[in-house]
Structure 1
Amino acid sequence: MSLIGEERKNFILNQLNLEGKVKTNELVDKLGVSSESIRRYLEELEAENKLKRVYGGAVKINLSREEPSHLKREVLHADEKRRIGRAAATLVEDNDVIFIDDGSTTLQIIEYLLNKKQITVLTNSVAALYLLIDYKNKELFSGDIFFIGGKVSSEQSRVVGALAEKMVENFYADKAFISIDGMMLDKGITSFDEERGQLAQKLMAHAKSSIVVTDSSKFGLVQFYKIADLKHIDMIVSDVPAPKEWEEELAHKDVAWITAN
Structure 2
Amino acid sequence: MSLVGEERKGIILEQLNSEGQVKTVDLVKRLNVSSETIRRYLEELEAESRLKRVYGGAVKINIGGEEPSYLKREVLYAEEKRNIGKAAAALVEDNDVIFIDDGTTPLQLIYFLMNKSNLTVLTMSMPALHLLMEYKNKDLFSGDIYLIGGKVNTTHSRVTGSIAEKMAALFHADKAFISIDGITHKGITVFDPERGQLVSRMMDNSNQRILMTDSSKIGLTQLYSMTEWRDIDIVICDVDMPKDWKKTLSEQEVSWIVAK
Coarse TM-score class (shorter-chain normalised): 0.7 to 0.9
Match of 2:18? none
- The answer as to whether partners of 1:43 and 1:53 remain within 8 angstroms in 2 is no
Please, what TM-score do these two structures have when normalized by structure 2? 0.79
Equivalences for residues 119-198 of structure 1 within 5 A? 119-186=119-186, 188-198=187-197
2-side partners of 1:173 and 1:218: how far apart?
26
Residues 51, 253 of structure 1: CA spacing in aligned structure 2 closer, same or farther, 3 A cutoff? farther
Letter of the structure 1 residue corresponding to residue 109 of structure 2: I
Listed as ranges, the matches of 1:77-88 within 5 Å are 77-88=77-88
CA distance in 1, matches of 2:252, 2:47: 32
Q: CA deviation at 1:144?
A: 0.4
1:35 maps to: none
Cα separation, 2, equivalents of 1:240 and 1:103: 19
How do residues 220-231 of structure 1 correspond to structure 2 at under 5 angstroms?
Answer: 220-231=219-230
Q: Secondary structure at the residue paired with 2:80? A: helix
Counterparts of 2:166 and 2:142, CA distance in 1? 27
Q: What is the Cα deviation at residue 68 of structure 1?
A: 0.7
Q: Which amino acid aligns with 2:209?
A: S
TM-score of the pair, normalised by structure 1: 0.79
Deviations 1:112-131 (Å, cap 9, x if unpaired)? 01100001000000000000
Residue 195 of structure 1 aligns to a residue whose secondary structure is helix
Paired position in structure 2 for 1:236: 235
Please report how far the alpha carbon of residue 244 of structure 1 lies from its aligned counterpart in structure 2 after TM superposition: 1.5
Report the residue type matching 1:253 in the other structure: Q
Counterparts of 1:241-260 in structure 2, within 5 Å, are: 241-260=240-259
Q: Distance in 1 between matches of 2:45 and 2:203?
A: 32
Shift in Å at residue 49 of structure 1?
6.5
Deviations 1:84-119 (A, max 9, x none): 000011000000000001000000000101100001
Question: 1:165-222: per-residue Cα shift (whole Å, max 9, x none)?
Answer: 0000000000000000000112x10001110111111110010011100001000000
- Deviation per residue, 1:50-94 (Å, 9 max, x gap): 97238xxx9756721111111111101000000000001100000
Structure 1 pair 92–49 and aligned structure 2 pair: CA distance change class (3 A) = farther
- Percent identity between the aligned chains? 53
CA distance in 2: counterparts of 1:50 and 1:230, whole angstroms: 33
Flag structure 1 segments of 5+ consecutive residues without an equivalent: 1-40
1:209 corresponds in structure 2 to 208
User: CA separation in 1, counterparts of 2:182 and 2:104?
Assistant: 14
2:166 aligned counterpart, secondary structure: helix
CA distance 1:246–1:161, change in 2 (3 Å): same
Kept in 2, the 8 Å contact 1:45–1:51? The answer is no
Q: Show the counterpart of 2:101.
A: 101
Secondary structure of 1:87's counterpart equals: helix
1:174, 1:207 within 8 Å by CA — same for their partners in 2?
Answer: yes
Please tell me whether the aligned partners of residues 113 and 141 of structure 2 are also in contact (alpha carbons under 8 angstroms): yes
Q: Which residue identity is paired with 1:45?
A: R
C-alpha distance in 2 between matches for 1:154 and 1:120: 25
Seen in structure 2, the aligned counterparts of structure 1 residues 59 and 147 have a Cα distance that, compared at 3 Å, is closer
Alignment of 1:11-30 (within 5 A): none
Report the RMSD for the aligned CA atoms in angstroms: 2.1
Deviation at 1:46, TM superposition (A): 4.8
- Partner amino acid for 2:174? D
Secondary structure of 2:256 counterpart:
strand
Aligned residues: 218
Q: Is the 8 A contact 1:95 1:118 kept in 2?
A: yes
The CA distance in 2 between the partners of 1:151 and 1:132, in whole Å, is: 21
Q: Deviations over 1:29-54 (max 9, x none)?
A: xxxxxxxxxxxx99852514697238
Question: Aligned partners of 2:133, 2:256: CA distance in 1, in Å?
Answer: 31
